[in-house]
Structure 1
Amino acid sequence: MSAKPQTKHLLQLRPAKTTDCAALAALSIEVWTGTYLREGVNDTFATFVLETFTPAHFAALLQDPGETLIVSQNRVGIDGYIRITEDRPSPVGGAKTEITTLYVQPRHHGRGIGQALLRAGLDHCRAKGLGAPWLSTNSENTPAIGFYHRQGFASVGETVFEIDGTGYPNTVLHYTGD
């Protein structure tokens, strides 16, 4: 009996296109709800997710020259993406370009996709002369904070992400690596 050969994930990064909008919306809903909704889904969060992560939302982003979306494409579809927003100053000063989103489907964690997307985003910032970017993540998301620290980001302060009048602390990180 011979062992079945393992197929390695072939990492293909490319700019997002309009035909990706539904996949980007579905992936965003999956990652956001899986990461932040730990105790059930209430109407406030369901409404936020369903109104925010829509194909129309992503189509509008792709038409905005200040937005860049890069996707990771596997043989079946998109398994992650990074979104970079120009001219969005950090809430604690300094950096002016935000890594607005870096999402990878949980089943694809540990395959280097997040790191490759982040490197592509950093390369994009360098190529356009945008300077070192910043980002924020929920302060309780210690796996993400640890990932960013390992990639050359430093925690520099806090901000608040607000949904329906309730604030959630977010850690602000600035890129200091390279």
Structure 2
Amino acid sequence: MTASRTFGTRHGTEFTLRPATAGDVPELVDLVQAAYRGEGGWTTEVHLVDGHRTDAGEVHAMLADPRVTLLVAELGDDLAGCCYTRREPADPHGRDRAELGLFAVRPAVQSRGLGGRLLEAQAELLRAAGVGVLMIQVLQGRPELQDWYRRHGFAAVGTAVPFAGNPDWLKVAGLGMDVMERPLR
């Protein structure tokens, strides 16, 4: 995606979707922290994980990685959502794959359909680029989040991986990440 596009949600809210820039980094880090570690949104992990979810260095590295597409959703002049995809090498069956991550919607605007639209925009870009499988790692202990992904075409593949962050931040020892995938073709 090289230009901004305007979308509507099921609640009539319009947002603009565009590639993230270096100027977005501070607000983007705040948005992600609020969604993952803040209070008030249904996507928070604060009851399971301490610490920060991302930092400016990680986001700048994403912006510099040619395999990454980092999109932001704006409502007016404010960042309301974001997500990245990172293209991975083809799997042993020759399918091009991408990982979805840093997927966040500001708690004040959650449950309006913005997350679903953001996810579908990323899926559309990947499909057009020939990617066959979209993968995400979902924190265990979040059945409502896994249910949301199932409603959006993902299925658990029966694989779990270790928690991607600092294991000392876990409030539940041994918590890992369940791998879910969605076919795009």
- State the TM-score, normalizing by the size of structure 1: 0.79
Cα deviations by residue, 1:130-150 (Å, 9 ceiling, x for unpaired): 222110111211221111111
Query: Residues 137, 95 of structure 1: CA spacing in aligned structure 2 closer, same or farther, 3 A cutoff?
Result: farther
Equivalent position SS for 2:156: strand
Q: Residue 131 of structure 2 corresponds to which residue in structure 1?
A: 130
Q: Residue 168 of structure 1 corresponds to which residue in structure 2?
A: 175
Cα deviations by residue, 1:12-62 (Å, 9 ceiling, x for unpaired): 1111111111111111111221322227x8xxx33xx1xx62223212211
Matches within 5 A, 1:78-93: 78-87=79-88
Task: Tell me if structure 2 keeps the 8 A contact 1:88–1:98.
Answer: no
Equivalent position SS for 2:66: coil
Paired AA for residue 33 in structure 2: I
Structure (1/2) with the larger helix percentage? 1
Gaps of 5+ in 1: 1-6
Dislocated runs of 4+, deviation >3 Å: 164-167
Equivalent position SS for 2:34: helix
Q: Identity over the aligned pairs, expressed in percent?
A: 25
CA displacement at 1:104 relative to structure 2? 0.8
Paired AA for residue 124 in structure 2: D
Task: Tell me if structure 2 keeps the 8 A contact 1:98–1:134.
Answer: yes
The 1-side partners of 2:148 and 2:90 are apart by 22
- State the TM-score, normalizing by the size of structure 2: 0.77
Query: Residues 105, 118 of structure 1: CA spacing in aligned structure 2 closer, same or farther, 3 A cutoff?
Result: same
Matches within 5 A, 1:1-178: 8-34=12-38, 35-38=44-47, 45-46=50-51, 49=52, 53-87=54-88, 96-157=97-158, 158-162=160-164, 163-164=166-167, 167-176=174-183
Gaps of 5+ in 2: 1-10, 39-43
Query: Residues 132, 104 of structure 1: CA spacing in aligned structure 2 closer, same or farther, 3 A cutoff?
Result: same
The 2-side partners of 1:38 and 1:17 are apart by 31
Equivalent position SS for 2:76: coil
Structure label with greater radius of gyration: 1
Task: Tell me if structure 2 keeps the 8 A contact 1:81–1:104.
Answer: yes
Please tell me the root mean square deviation across aligned C-alpha atoms, in Å: 2.5
Paired AA for residue 164 in structure 1: P
Comparing 130-139 and 95-104, the one that deviates more: 95-104
